[in-house]
Amino acid sequence: MSADSMQGSLKQRGIRLTRQRQILLDLIDKSGKHLDAESLFLMAQEKDPKLNRVTVYRTLKMLKQGGLVDELDLMHYGGDQHYYETRMKQEHAHVICLRCGKVEEFFGDPLQKLRRQIESHFGFQIVLARTEIGGYCSHCQTLRAREVSEAAALTEAHPVTKRKKA
């Protein structure tokens, strides 16, 4: 979403795009990461030391209600943390590693096909779709395989003997 369209969207709702709001939108949009509120606060303070935590939380709520950012839970990898990203024109799926927390975004025709199938099957008009897929990235799959083989080797080296009942 361009700066002009963001400003227009806020203006339609009677909200000004202040410097602090612009800082937060820029951080969310240009960081290349999915950031939680605390990370956004710390990064925003580097740009404007006067910015306080309450302002960040209120601004995130306002931007979410204004349709400029999405609030995501990303499989609750970080507990109850929520992450933010600017609204994008093209829908995408979030692919989250349940071990390291790495987040990838998947764009493609399969998502559009799924959307059309759901609309057709249920006679449903989709306004918003969020897709999250949890699993293990290739690096973490390697680590998990190594851990499993090490655990198996330990078990073979030190078998647990069962006690006989008296």
Q: Are residues 42 and 94 in the same domain?
A: no
C-alpha 98/C-alpha 123 separation (Å) is 34
Residue identified by tokens 């580097």 is: 46
Q: Are residues 82 and 125 in the same domain?
A: no
Mean pLDDT, residues 36-47 taken together: 93
Give the model's confidence band at 4: pLDDT under 50 very low, under 70 low, under 90 confident, else very high. low
Q: Are residues 140 and 84 in the same domain?
A: no
| pLDDT at residue 165 greater than cutoff 70 | no
Report for 75-79, 130-134, 139-143, 148-152: range of highest mean pLDDT: 139-143
Out of 104-113, 120-129, 130-139, 154-163, which region has the weakest mean confidence (pLDDT)? 154-163
Mean pLDDT, residues 155-166 taken together: 66
Structural domain range at position 33: 1-89
Write out pLDDT tens, residues 60-93: 998 888 888 888 888 887 677 888 888 766 788 9
Last residue of a domain, one of 66, 89, 112: 89
Q: How far is CA 64 from CA 55, 69, 120, 142, in A?
A: 14, 5, 29, 38
Q: Are residues 15 and 59 in the same domain?
A: yes
Q: Are residues 63 and 95 in the same domain?
A: no
C-alpha 70/C-alpha 127 separation (Å) is 13
pTM of the model: 0.71
Residue 164 lies in a domain: no
- Mean pLDDT across the chain: 85
* Three-state SS at 105: strand
The number of distinct structural domains making up the chain is 2
Give the model's confidence band at 54: pLDDT under 50 very low, under 70 low, under 90 confident, else very high. very high
| CATH number of the structural domain spanning residue 112 | 3.30.1490.190
Q: Are residues 75 and 26 in the same domain?
A: yes
| pLDDT at residue 164 greater than cutoff 70 | no
Residue 106 lies in a domain: yes
* Lookup: tokens for 19: 């410097």
Share of the chain above pLDDT 70, in %: 89
- pLDDT of res. 65: 84
C-alpha 156/C-alpha 29 separation (Å) is 51
> For the sheet containing 35-36, what is the strand order?
35-36, 83-86, 69-72
